[in-house]
Amino acid sequence: MSATDLAKDICFVVTDVDGVLTNGQLMFTAQGEQFKNFNTLDGHGIKLLQSEGIEVAIITGRTSEMVLKRATDLGIKTIIQGREDKWIPLQEMLAERNLQPKQVAYVGDDWPDLACIRRVGLGVAVANADEAVKAHADYITERRGGEGAFREVASLILKAQDRYDRVLEKWL
């Protein structure tokens, strides 16, 4: 089945942060303060999905105030940080929302994302993901993590659900 076909049933999108919403680089000052670069294309993609009633959530292995701030700014309500075992919190999210895995897209880049990518309706690897992750994904983005890969996924879902042109029309 094609990624477009799989995207037709998606109503919930879960994403990793480092390597997906950022380029994966961790930058620190001499005082230990951490910096991350987020792409505005991805942020707009999140908002476009939300405007269509498609919820977006985050599960990340690291814990960062910057992730919380960015997620809050984007209106993301569910943010799970400090979890390498991502399938367990994803299962909890599905139960809370009474969703089936086939209704979920998961976007990741590395091995901690594999369990989710393999078990959801649309498993996505970003272009610069680890080769093992790409091998198990239903869709591999053309864009790299932190360079609009999430926005590409948002567009794929909106197009598959025949919402893209209607949403775009609001901006014309």
pLDDT of residue 38: 83
How many other C-beta atoms lie within 10 A of the C-beta of residue 110? 19
Which residue reads 């799970």 in tokens?
A: 80
Instruction: Identify the bridge partners of residue 28 per DSSP, sorted by sequence position.
Output: 34
The domain defined by 3-167 folds into: Rossmann fold (3.40.50)
Rounded CA gap, 51 and 150, in Å? 16
Amino acid present at 18: D
CA distance linking residue 158 with residue 18, whole number of Å: 24
Q: Where does residue 80 rank: exposed (0-12), middle (13-18), buried (19+ CB within 10 A)?
A: middle
Task: Domain ranges for the chain, please list them.
Answer: 3-167
pLDDT on residue 24: 60
55: nearest Cα among 79, 23, 37 = 79
Splitting the chain (172 residues) into consecutive groups of 10 residues, what average pLDDT does each group show?
Answer: 96 95 70 75 97 97 88 95 94 97 98 97 98 98 97 98 96 92
Structure confidence at residue 52 (pLDDT): 97
